[in-house]
Structure formats: C-alpha cells, structure tokens
Amino acid sequence: MEARIKYAVLLVGIGIIIALLPFDTSESFRLKSNELLSKSISDSLYLSVDQVAQMMNKEDSTVQLIDLRSAGQFKECNIPGSINIPFDDLLNPRWEGTFNQRRVKKIFYGNGDQTASYAWTIATGLGYKNNFIMKGGLNEWFKTVMLSQFAGEKISPLENAIFENRFNARRAFTQVNSLPDSLKGKYFKAKEIKQLKLDGGCQ
C-alpha cells in the first residue's frame, strides 16, 4: 500500500475514535475530588468583610469582587468595584476572561455563604486559581460594615483603624450605590475585565 494511503487511513481512524469519545472533555472538572476537598477545608479560602473592605478602600487592582446575586439585586446595591455574574450564568463562556486570571484574586459573594461556596467549588474544580469567598456574604457586610458604630469612652488604636476602614468602605458603598442608574451602568461596564480581548493571538 502506498504511504499516503496508509496515513489517510490512520488519520480517518483517529478521527472516528475521537468522534466516538463519549463526552465533551473540555467541560470536565480538572481537580480530582480529594484535591478539591483538601482545598475546600482549608480556612484560607475565606476573607472577612473587613479584609474585603480594606481591599476596596485601597482600590486594589489585583482583586476582582464577583457578585453572584441576580442582576436586579445587583443593581439595587453592590460593593463598589464588583461585577455581576449571576450564579445561574456562571458557566457562560463570556466570563472565561474574568476567571482565567491566576494573578487576580476572585472574591465571590452572595447574600449568605451558600452560593459563594458553590461558585468557589465550581471555579476551583474547573482549574481556575486564586478564588476566595467573602465570609458571611452581603448580610455580614451590612451587619459589620454598614451598621458598625462606636459606643464607649475610649478607643484603642486597633479599634480606631478597624472603625476607620469600615467607615471609609461605608462611605464609598453609599456614594456608588446612590448614583443614578445610567451612571452606575457605565461605571460597571468599564469595570468588566475583557481578558480575552486583551490577550490577543498571533499568526
């Protein structure tokens, strides 16, 4: 048999095998279940609302806050600098660029801990690095940051630092969320990181 016919048969054979492979391999979890478990029981995946408030105040560019609530709830109020990825929409390929940045800390939050934990598990399982959960979600944020008050005679330097951090976060939160809807929309549009477009390919 001629060499080119042999190669043709080989290629078609490989093609048929690939076509018959049972599942779309590109969607599968990358981490094995025990690896995922050992990652998820470590405490380092949680960030407290105070830590998040501090990052927000510093406008830390290595941090991406991700709001997992619905678009309507997000519009009502959200932590400044966050983008909205509703939990149902998590696997939409358009967010690939946001997740696929190992140097950016992705901090998930919902109303409580539950959706954030789900999202963390999925994102980490799919092989994305540097995912975190804001402990307690927005409920905790309101309780700790928005309603924090100081009552008493003396304030220690540590308490003062914490209080100032919360106070600044609260001010930014109120300012951004009281913007008219049109301005808010523009602000968040600009915030969305378009890694896919930035990365570029080359022939």
Partner 1 sequence: MGPLSILSELPEWINLLFAFVIGIGFGFSLEQAGFSSSRKLAGMFYGYDTTVLKVFFTAAIVALAGSQLLSYFGLLNLKLVFVNPFYMNSAILGGIIMGAGFIMGGYCPGTGICALSIGKVDAMIFVAGGFFGAYLFAETYPYVQTIAMDNYMGPMRIDAWLGVSPGVFTLLLILAALMLFWLAELAEKKFSRPDITSDL
Closest CB to partner 1 among residues 4, 189? 4
Of 33-41, 60-68, 180-188, 191-199: span binding partner 1 (CB under 8 A): 191-199
- In the bound complex, what is the minimum distance in angstroms from residue 166's beta carbon to partner 1? 34
Residue from 12, 37, 71, 147 binding partner 1 (CB under 8 A): 12
Q: State yes or no: residue 35 binds partner 1 (CB under 8 A).
A: no
Nearest C-alpha neighbor of 50 from the set 144, 170, 190: 144
Q: Is 19 in the site for partner 1 (CB under 8 A)?
A: yes
Distance (Å, whole) CA 166 – CA 148 = 7
In whole angstroms, the minimum distance from the beta carbon of 193 to partner 1 comes to: 14
Q: Are 73 and 168 a contacting pair, CB within 8 Å?
A: no
Positions 68 through 97 that interact with partner 1 (CB under 8 A): 93-94, 96
- Please identify which residue in 14, 71, 161, 179 interacts with partner 1, judged by CB under 8 A: 14
Which residue reads 């946001």 in tokens? 98
122 lies in the binding site for partner 1 (CB under 8 A): no
100 makes contact with partner 1 (CB under 8 A) = yes
| Strand arrangement of the beta sheet that strand 82-84 belongs to | 46-47, 131-134, 105-109, 63-67, 82-84
Output the six-digit token pair for 151.
Answer: 């009552």
Exactly one of 36, 77, 126, 193 binds partner 1 (CB under 8 A); that residue is 126
Structure tokens at 177: 């969320």
Q: Say whether residue 201 binds partner 1 (CB under 8 A).
A: yes
- The residue (of 27 and 181) whose beta carbon lies closer to partner 1 is 27
Q: Which two tokens stand for residue 104?
A: 């950016």
Which residues in this chain contact partner 1 in the complex, by CB under 8 A? 4, 8, 11-12, 14-16, 18-21, 24-27, 30, 93-94, 96, 100, 102, 126-127, 129, 196-197, 199, 201, 203
